Amino acid sequence: MTDDDRTGHEHQNGHGQEHEYEDRNGHEDNHHIKDGNVKQPPDEGRRNDQQGSGRAQGGEARPQVRSERAARTLAVPDLSLVVLIGATGSGKSTFAARHFRPTEVLSSDFCRGLVSDDENDQSASSDAFDVLHYIAGKRLAAGRLTVIDATNVQSEARAQLVRLAREHDVLPVAIVLDVPEQICAARNAARADRAGLPRRVIQRHQRELRRSLRHLEREGFRKVHLLRGPEEIDAAEIVTERRFNDLRHLTGPFDIIGDIHGCRSELETLLGRLGYALERDALGRPVDAVHPQGRTAVFVGDLVDRGPDSPGVLRLVMGMVKAGHALCVPGNHENKLGRYLKGRNVQHTHGLAETIEQLETEDDAFRAEVAAFLHGLVSHYVLDGGGLVVCHAGLPEKYHGRTSGRVRSFALYGDTTGETDEFGLPVRYPWAEEYRGRAAVVYGHTPTPRANWLNNTICLDTGCVFGGTMTALRWPERELVDVPAEKVWYEPAKPLAATAPGGADGRPLDLGDVAGRRIVETRHMGRLAVREENAAAALEVMSRFAIDPRLLPYLPPTMAPCATSRAGTGGETAGGAADEEGFLEHPAEAFAAYRADGVREVVCEEKHMGSRAVVLVCRDESVARERFGVPGGVSGALYTRTGRPFFDDPATTERILHRVRESAERAGLWAELETDWLLLDAELMPWSLKATGLLRRQYAAVGAASGAVFPGALGALEAAAARGVEVTQLLGRQRERASDAAAFTEAYRRYCWRVGAERPAGTDQLAGIRLAPFQILAVQGRSLAGLPHTEQLAMIDRLIAAEAEAAPESGAGPEAEAGAEPQDALSAPAAVPGGGRTRLLAPTRRLVVDTEDEASIAAGIAWWLDLTGEGGEGMVVKPLHALVRGKDGRLIQPGIKCRGREYLRIIYGPEYTRPENLRRLRVRHLGHKRSLALREYALGLEALDRLADGEPLWRVHEAVFAVLALESEPVDPRL
């Protein structure tokens, strides 16, 4: 607690008058009552008290003016703008150098030098002060103590600095160095560059200084330290003091309690629920509450008005605060009550009348105690190492820990747009929507049916006095605890809003969250940069084609292929096997890479040749609404690797989601994983489903062209040969090319088959569509990215088995026609005879390999050869333990792909296997691809972690957007 800081002090000003340092008692941020921003508007009393048009109130704050007669300490708040005032030669620079760090001091002379190469060039003063103010502004914005070393003897110069301090909501402090003219003159004379300074300049400075002294407090300086003569100056010591709102050293744990409004009984119940033991006075009235584990209660204000027992609430809260068991920030109702108790003329509206009436029955001592308590409240607190900010009506990040009238005003009243709604109440500006701070802001003020997190802020006012609930937030647990109102104590002026301020549907994220060059902090790889041009491309795709960001919590990373197999080139190969000849990619390289990284157990997973798909499946629509905030009719999402919806028709998506949901239900995954949604990484087949455009334009086109050209060309060559023309070599080559082209056509055809409506009538709409999930990425509250792949696949096998159970009589597929889905021996048959429902989910074959065991490696290679020999795309080799780090702490590639020899024709062209082509194609550079794969992986993990931690949408989206941006980096597209 800071109560020990709050005792009043008395000091003398330079004129021997006594001033009570009254404003230390809580009005630290109301530093200049005469300022227009803070002044009470004349019509204030007639407006309703929720209009926050600036009325930080409280005691008349008079600045403290201290005359330093002897060696004493000068108090300087740890965040303030310290303005040194003194004639040229008064020793300001020496003083600043002795008491402050060099970087804290901004000297006008230095700035003059910066802009003009001459520290004494008075004609450069205007530019020099521009520079000085600019730097000072940057420092203050960053929350750094700043000292201005300039003469500052003219009020205009000081006014600019006071304005600067206010702009950044810090306290201006004046330190005056009043040194006799002779000494100043002597010092200047001793300096070569100032020897010629006319004596009248010093005299003018002295005159201006004298004139200024009396006005410094009125100019807005919160503290004025006057040092007279060299001795006093030399003896002075600076002591920095903490701001009252700075309680970062208190780490709780806390129980933050929302608006109470005189509901004493509910408060007692809530404290009981939170585990506090109430202590009562002789009359049985609660006067304190203690938590056995030493937790601290924090009240967000609006203790009083409207409800049945405001004095009772005050008695309890004041007792807890006094005993050090609670902290309390003021609400607008406390502010108004405080003014009433000081005898101000305030309207007895919005429940104040009830409080006044209730206070009538209390004695004067109690009322005085209340007045003193309210007077001493600090507008907001920064707690728990800076991770928690508590205030009444919310606070943007730039105001955290700041001290000014407008900070206090915002903390008490929030931000208003200046408009009024149909009930005549002020429209509140949705500041939380724009909040991007790392500190959680816990506040109250706006009654809502339930407390919801929005961008790391939460409003705890759940309208107890209006018959709602009284809510508390446990910190750092982030658990909500609430008790219902015992009755409707007060009729609301308008129905409670449906959501917390800013939490409404359809409100988009901010461009500032994604645009331009960015650095994204990741848990697994530190700071990752996104370049501007990549962000620009991602912005276009995200805006024009992607699904709602709320349903897009993840994008899959790219994956690096294995090192290029060098067999047949005379180079060393990892496997050393002669049968690697003719391969561009070979599993021996992948196994060797993981062995080199110290990864012993790897799992080889069949690589399905379809299109990457991420599936977000919620248990039902209400879960989608609750967890992801999407409108009705949507129960999840199915999207591609750039976030585009997989199907144009939402009904198809819903049908697929339904099938996955059903299987998850049957497999018992909801209960087992304690979740009501699953995020799956998967491959959706056939490839032709999504890539039709590409197939027609590129792959089939090449097949068509080659198929049509060779018969004629070969015919011509054969005819020429028959005529005795020597074309043997050319003919041989053309025949090989023809067969390569035919192999190419075969290669792409394997990944094409008809689905749904393209099939014979009678089959269901999903017929032919296969979804092969291979990882459960996340569930409610947890990222599963670190779960071993064997466990992952075991769960997915159960999902697949559950679907099979639902259609037990499935037999061999009915289709043998061309263009039908190939039936492979190892996977379960997909189709049900008789045109019934076909299976959607496809298994992923896998094999665990020990990278230290030659036999195991050989088995892995043989498995891959089988897989690709039958036309498979290939496999992905992954560390069994999924998320793995090397000995040096580096993140290890999450997977390495080894693509089949035939499949690669689709990538490197029909004729890539010809030795002269292979030789050249082996020159490929994997470095950038590997780096990209790791960076995207780290960003994907980050998105999952942020999702799991319940972080604000913008934080999740930031990482997802960065993955998309990185995907547009220039990297060899064939890798």
Which residues 884-943 are close enough to bind another protein by CB under 8 A? 906-912, 917, 920-921, 925, 928
Cβ of residue 931: shortest distance to another protein, in angstroms? 10
Cβ of residue 637: shortest distance to another protein, in angstroms? 10
CB 846 within 8 A of CB 603: yes
The interface region with another protein, picked from 192-200, 272-280, 337-345, 702-710 by CB under 8 A, is 702-710
Q: Which residue lies nearer to another protein by CB, 366 or 710? A: 710
Range 771-806 burial, b when 16+ CB lie within 10 A, else e: bbbbbbbbbbebbbbebbbeebbebbebbbbbbbee
In the structure encoding, which two tokens stand for residue 484, read together? 């219902």
Of residues 375-394, those binding another protein (CB under 8 A): none
Q: Which residue lies nearer to another protein by CB, 137 or 707? A: 707
Residue 259 to residue 279: CA distance in whole angstroms: 22
Cβ of residue 344: shortest distance to another protein, in angstroms? 32
Element (H, E) at 861: helix 854-869
Number of residues that bind another protein (CB under 8 A): 105
From 653, 706, 763, 810, residue interacting with another protein (rule: CB under 8 A): 706
Of residues 291-330, those binding another protein (CB under 8 A): none
> CA 325, 328, 334, 335 torsion: positive or negative?
positive
Residue 589: φ, ψ to 5° = -70, -40
From 152, 409, 416, 558, residue interacting with another protein (rule: CB under 8 A): 558
CA distances from 567 to 305, 564, 571, 577, 580 (A): 84, 9, 7, 8, 5
Under the criterion CB under 8 A, does residue 735 sit at the interface with another protein?
no
Residue 959 to residue 520: CA distance in whole angstroms: 7
The interface region with another protein, picked from 274-282, 456-464, 565-573, 720-728 by CB under 8 A, is 720-728
Q: Which residue lies nearer to another protein by CB, 87 or 971? A: 971
Cβ of residue 511: shortest distance to another protein, in angstroms? 4
Q: Which residue lies nearer to another protein by CB, 530 or 802? A: 530
From 71, 277, 519, 705, residue interacting with another protein (rule: CB under 8 A): 705
Of residues 629-658, those binding another protein (CB under 8 A): 631, 640-642, 644
Residue 241 to residue 77: CA distance in whole angstroms: 5
From 674, 698, 854, 869, residue interacting with another protein (rule: CB under 8 A): 698
Q: Which residue lies nearer to another protein by CB, 798 or 974? A: 974
Q: Which residue lies nearer to another protein by CB, 693 or 808? A: 693
710: burial class by Cβ within 10 Å (0-12, 13-18, 19+)? middle
3-state secondary structure 310-355: HHHHHHHHHHHHHCCCEEECCCHHHHHHHHHHCCCCCCCCCCHHHH
From 425, 709, 787, 865, residue interacting with another protein (rule: CB under 8 A): 709
Cβ of residue 541: shortest distance to another protein, in angstroms? 5
3-state secondary structure of 196: coil
Q: Which residue lies nearer to another protein by CB, 470 or 965? A: 965
Cβ of residue 594: shortest distance to another protein, in angstroms? 25
From 10, 540, 665, 949, residue interacting with another protein (rule: CB under 8 A): 540
Under the criterion CB under 8 A, does residue 727 sit at the interface with another protein?
yes
DSSP class of residue 820?
Answer: S
Q: Write the binding mask 429 to 468 for another protein: x where contact by CB under 8 A, - elsewhere.
A: ----xx----------------------------------
Write the DSSP assignment of 660-717 as a string of letters. HHHHHHHHTHHHHTT-SEEEEEEEEE-HHHHHHHHIIIIIHHHHHHHHHHHHHHHHHH
Of residues 655-694, those binding another protein (CB under 8 A): 687, 690-694
Of residues 793-832, those binding another protein (CB under 8 A): 818-819
Q: Which residue lies nearer to another protein by CB, 32 or 770? A: 770
The interface region with another protein, picked from 273-281, 334-342, 568-576, 713-721 by CB under 8 A, is 713-721
Residue with tokens 């069949």, as numbered in its chain: 606
CA distances from 550 to 355, 626, 809, 954, 974 (A): 45, 11, 39, 9, 32
Q: What residues are paired with 521 via a beta bridge?
A: 527
Q: Which residue lies nearer to another protein by CB, 514 or 590? A: 514
Q: Which residue lies nearer to another protein by CB, 344 or 697? A: 697
CB 412 within 8 A of CB 29: no
CB 662 within 8 A of CB 803: yes
Cβ of residue 769: shortest distance to another protein, in angstroms? 16
CB 318 within 8 A of CB 374: no
Under the criterion CB under 8 A, does residue 186 sit at the interface with another protein?
no
Cβ of residue 700: shortest distance to another protein, in angstroms? 4
DSSP class of residue 4?
Answer: G
Under the criterion CB under 8 A, does residue 509 sit at the interface with another protein?
yes
Q: What residues are paired with 290 via a beta bridge?
A: 277
From 135, 197, 481, 702, residue interacting with another protein (rule: CB under 8 A): 702
Task: Fill in the amino acid letter for 425.
Answer: L
**Residue 385: how many other CB atoms lie within 10 Å:** 11
From 505, 620, 649, 736, residue interacting with another protein (rule: CB under 8 A): 505
Residue with tokens 């496809």, as numbered in its chain: 842
The interface region with another protein, picked from 274-282, 450-458, 615-623, 700-708 by CB under 8 A, is 700-708
CB 444 within 8 A of CB 300: yes
CB 321 within 8 A of CB 296: no
Of residues 740-779, those binding another protein (CB under 8 A): 741, 744-745, 749, 752, 754, 758
Q: Write the binding mask 847 to 876 for another protein: x where contact by CB under 8 A, - elsewhere.
A: ------------------------------
- The count of residues in the chain is 975
The interface region with another protein, picked from 66-74, 156-164, 479-487, 504-512 by CB under 8 A, is 504-512
Under the criterion CB under 8 A, does residue 515 sit at the interface with another protein?
yes
From 364, 726, 809, 888, residue interacting with another protein (rule: CB under 8 A): 726
From 730, 742, 743, 891, residue interacting with another protein (rule: CB under 8 A): 730
Cβ of residue 813: shortest distance to another protein, in angstroms? 17
Under the criterion CB under 8 A, does residue 423 sit at the interface with another protein?
no
From 34, 344, 523, 696, residue interacting with another protein (rule: CB under 8 A): 696
Under the criterion CB under 8 A, does residue 974 sit at the interface with another protein?
yes
CA distances from 348 to 246, 455, 551 (A): 34, 36, 48
Residue 759 to residue 689: CA distance in whole angstroms: 13
From 539, 742, 801, 848, residue interacting with another protein (rule: CB under 8 A): 539
From 476, 508, 576, 915, residue interacting with another protein (rule: CB under 8 A): 508
Q: Write the binding mask 516 to 535 for another protein: x where contact by CB under 8 A, - elsewhere.
A: -----------------xx-
> CA 477, 483, 489, 492 torsion: positive or negative?
positive
Cβ of residue 582: shortest distance to another protein, in angstroms? 16
Cβ of residue 895: shortest distance to another protein, in angstroms? 16
From 159, 511, 812, 862, residue interacting with another protein (rule: CB under 8 A): 511
Write the DSSP assignment of 742-766 as a string of letters. HHHHHHHHTT----GGGSPTTS-TT
Cβ of residue 163: shortest distance to another protein, in angstroms? 23
Residue 851 to residue 860: CA distance in whole angstroms: 10
Residue with tokens 């506090």, as numbered in its chain: 276
